[in-house]
């Protein structure tokens, strides 16, 4: 047929039970992260689904029993037309004690226009919508002249960057749409990096030696690593306040760029002066910054702090930043994503949203972080656009509005057809 028409769009409403069934199928796979290592069956379901809809597929284990799946439907116009990545993660947030849930955790239940279950908002609702859209595009024989790529990735909930693995394998496109939770608004995002700061004494002292450390003339040049870490924490708070008044970015409240002292570990036991203390921090930064530049600022600030303290000067803090997994190496990186509002794909996405919703979409910045930053870092223009709210993500009795999910499906149909039939300039 060549163009998305009202018959196809009406079919989303007429066949909404099919969309709900795909969502139900996905929710039943208990892909909770952590503990992770549990997505293979869900990914096999998605891979088989894509194959039925005439996609060539690829899958590989990022971690044992946690494979990525990529499906590609080659366009009829070859490299002359725009290509598109549709990206989403198959893992869902941990549940923990489910005694407060009043609906089944892993079996969709519909109440008053909402579908309930872990992952409905974050983000199996969007995954189901994209798969349903793909099915309709194939069934109605909608021609796509540019390549359409669907990525189902693992590990987003624990910073395991399945999306980065796709990029490292060479998967790219002219634009990437990350379907993570955005309340059907078009978002960029700030970045996040975690880091461990360690203060460690070169010597170990019995608790009885503290008397000789804390008084003038005691004769022992020593200190508690825990107490010295308090100086480091105070310095981080000072830097955080400085950032709040010297940095800003449109779409973010002042002071969004925070340094959170999340976890602290120190000392051996009560008979020792603490010879080591480790602090785990989470740093949020703005889209016009990189985690490398933010790391450099923190380390420089703490270097000057250490130089002003006689003991820290000789026992300066040491750093370990980021990591590819909160589970494996206790660290993560989510690069920031600057949103180019004037980019041709963003403009087409806005038009598609307005066509379906009859109102212009809100454009702004995400309250949280997603895999979208990996595309930006790789030079692939991207935007975050997905159904559901951040308030529902990770919540007890997680739910998604089915009317919004249907409109999101229609918006995808319009946007995919338009973008993948756009000739490159």
Active site residues: 91, 156
Residues in the chain: 425
DSSP string of 125-176, one letter each residue: HHHHHHHHHHHHHHHTT---SS-EEEEEE--GGGT--HHHHHHHTT---SEE
Cα torsion for 91, 389, 408, 421, to the nearest 10°? Answer: -70
Structure tokens at 19: 């969309």
- Determine the Cα–Cα distance for residues 86 and 100; give it in Å rounded to an integer: 34
Taking CA atoms, 34 is separated from 154, 314, 326, 367, in Å, by: 11, 39, 9, 22
Structure tokens at 287: 């889209």
- Determine the Cα–Cα distance for residues 273 and 292; give it in Å rounded to an integer: 35
* Contact present, 376 and 382 (Cβ < 8 Å): yes
- Determine the Cα–Cα distance for residues 319 and 298; give it in Å rounded to an integer: 10
Q: Where are the alpha helices (DSSP H) in 39-150?
A: 40-52, 125-139
Contacts with 62 (C-beta within 8 Å, 6 or more apart), sequence order: 68, 153, 154, 155, 160, 162, 165
* Contact present, 408 and 115 (Cβ < 8 Å): no
């Amino acid at each position: 047929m060549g163009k998305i028409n009202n018959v196809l769009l009406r079919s989303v409403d007429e066949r909404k039970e099919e969309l709900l069934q795909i969502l139900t199928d996905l929710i039943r796979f208990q892909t909770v992260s952590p503990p992770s290592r549990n997505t293979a069956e869900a990914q096999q379901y998605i891979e088989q689904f894509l194959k039925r809809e005439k996609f060539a597929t690829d899958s590989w284990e990022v971690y044992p029993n946690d494979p990525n799946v990529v499906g590609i439907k080659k366009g009829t116009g070859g490299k002359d037309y725009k290509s598109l990545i549709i990206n989403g993660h198959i893992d869902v947030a941990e549940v923990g004690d489910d005694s407060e849930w009043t609906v089944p955790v892993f079996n969709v239940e519909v109440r008053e226009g909402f579908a309930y279950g872990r992952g409905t908002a974050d983000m199996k609702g969007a995954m189901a919508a994209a798969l349903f859209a793909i099915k309709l595009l194939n069934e109605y024989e909608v021609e796509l002249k540019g390549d359409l790529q669907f990525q189902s990735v693992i590990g987003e909930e624990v910073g395991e960057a399945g999306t980065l693995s796709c990029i490292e394998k060479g998967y790219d496109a002219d634009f990437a749409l990350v379907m993570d939770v955005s309340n059907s608004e078009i978002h960029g995002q700030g970045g996040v990096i975690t880091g461990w700061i360690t203060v460690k004494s070169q010597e170990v002292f019995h608790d009885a030696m503290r008397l000789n450390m804390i008084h003038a003339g005691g004769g022992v040049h020593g200190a508690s690593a825990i107490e010295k870490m308090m100086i480091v924490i105070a310095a981080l708070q000072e830097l955080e306040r400085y950032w709040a008044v010297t940095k800003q970015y449109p779409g973010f409240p002042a002071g969004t760029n925070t340094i959170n002292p999340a976890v602290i570990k120190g000392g051996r036991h009560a008979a020792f002066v603490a010879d080591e203390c480790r602090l785990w921090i989470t740093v949020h930064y703005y889209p016009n910054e990189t985690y490398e530049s933010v790391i450099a600022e923190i380390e420089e600030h703490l270097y000057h702090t250490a130089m002003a303290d006689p003991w820290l000067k000789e026992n300066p803090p040491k750093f370990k930043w980021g990591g590819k997994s909160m589970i494996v190496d206790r660290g993560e990186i989510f690069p920031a994503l600057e949103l180019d509002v004037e980019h041709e794909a963003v403009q087409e996405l806005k038009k598609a949203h307005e066509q379906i919703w009859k109102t212009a979409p809100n454009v702004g910045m995400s309250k949280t972080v997603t895999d979208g930053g990996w595309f930006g870092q790789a030079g692939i223009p991207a935007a975050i656009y997905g159904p559901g709210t951040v308030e529902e993500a990770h919540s007890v009795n997680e739910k998604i509005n089915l009317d919004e999910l249907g409109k999101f499906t229609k918006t995808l149909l319009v946007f995919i057809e338009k973008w993948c039939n756009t000739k490159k300039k």
